[in-house]
Amino acid sequence: MIYSVRHTTTFRYEPAVRESVMEVRLQPRSEGEQRCLNFTLDVEPSANVMQYRDFVGNTVHHFDIAGSHTQVKVAANSTVDVEVVPPPRATDSGDWADLDALVGAGDYWETLLPSHFAHGSEALEQLAKQLRCERRDTPFSLLSEVNEALYRGFAYVPNSTKVDSPIEEALVSRQGVCQDFAHIMIALVRSLRVPCRYVSGYMFHRDETKADRSSEGASHAWAEALIPRLGWVAFDPTNNLVGADRHIKVAIGRDYADVPPTRGVYKGDAQSELSVSVSVSPADEVRPEPPAPSFVIRSRPVLIRTPALHSEQEQQQQQ
């Protein structure tokens, strides 16, 4: 299946800021069953956009807008070919001994250790006991069970958490967005010595499929765990999906802190407003008008006491 993806991010400032520096991770990866056929990135005001690949192969674009401006608009357009493959099966996976041998022969330490957003806590330990999250059955069957348990036990509530909310907020309230669900699953899985990583990207929502909880018109996040004999397998606890037949992978990392869609700073004493719109459709469908912003975020006033002080701005994976 070939998908067309449009992701538009607009930052507005009042009053004008003096300079903006930003990096974005919006270009889909080319690996496995996925190929990014083309990608364009348009920035307003115009800027010299440069790029590099980070230590895990994500493409990172970055730019600096000097001079006074009241708005920064970043428009990313992609065409991605995602091969439709059968969902992974438990009968094709290995057992815990196979997993330990796989981990022992490779370099997976970064996906095994606690990270900024995916780490242990008393609330997480209580959840692990409730879900019987322990080494039993096989890695694939256990993770599939945990994936479904998070889907059934936690409510998907847009705007219920913030970009920097710790997982304790979602664990206590039993609600959150895809970013929270991915972090909780990653923390649970790593405690069992299963390599697990955070994936940012998009999901295609079929019109006839009403079971999807994640919001159409927003980016998405899920987890990937290393399963013996199957490799990296996608687990989406937000939508209770295993396998990535409708997912478009953009970036991978230890957690959200490694791969925000946009991250930057600006100089100035200003309030900022962030609006985002995302459209994912089959490439043969024509959508001449971009969708309306799926969410708008307004910042609190930022008091700048010295000209050198910067204000940070970051886009949450999903609202």
Tell whether 319 is covered by a domain: no
| Alpha-helical regions (H) of the chain | 96-105, 122-130, 139-153, 167-173, 178-190
Residues 238, 265, single domain; the answer is no
The pLDDT of residue 311 is: 61
Whose CA is closest to 223, among 176, 259, 178? 178
Q: What CA–CA distance (Å, rounded) separates 147 from 241? A: 8
231-252 tens-digit pLDDT: 999 999 999 999 988 999 999 9
For residue 99, the enclosing domain spans 87-258
Contacts of residue 18, Cβ cutoff 8 Å, sequence gap at least 6: 67, 68, 266, 267, 268
306-318 tens-digit pLDDT: 333 456 666 655 5
Residues 244, 174, single domain; the answer is yes
Residues 140, 206, single domain; the answer is yes
Residues 219, 248, single domain; the answer is yes
pLDDT at residue 144 above 70? yes
Please state whether the predicted TM-score (pTM) of the whole model is above 0.85.
Answer: yes
Residues 93, 204, single domain; the answer is yes
**CATH number for 202:** 3.10.620.30
**CATH number for 36:** 2.60.40.2250
Number of domains in the chain: 2
Residues 101, 39, single domain; the answer is no
Residues 94, 211, single domain; the answer is yes
Residues 274, 152, single domain; the answer is no
Task: State the average pLDDT for the chain.
Answer: 90
Domain end among 258, 275, 298: 258
Name the percent of the chain lying above pLDDT 90.
Answer: 82
Whose CA is closest to 178, among 155, 197, 195, 196? 155
The pLDDT of residue 131 is: 97
106-142 tens-digit pLDDT: 999 999 999 999 999 999 999 999 999 999 999 999 9
Residues 251, 160, single domain; the answer is yes
Tell whether 145 is covered by a domain: yes
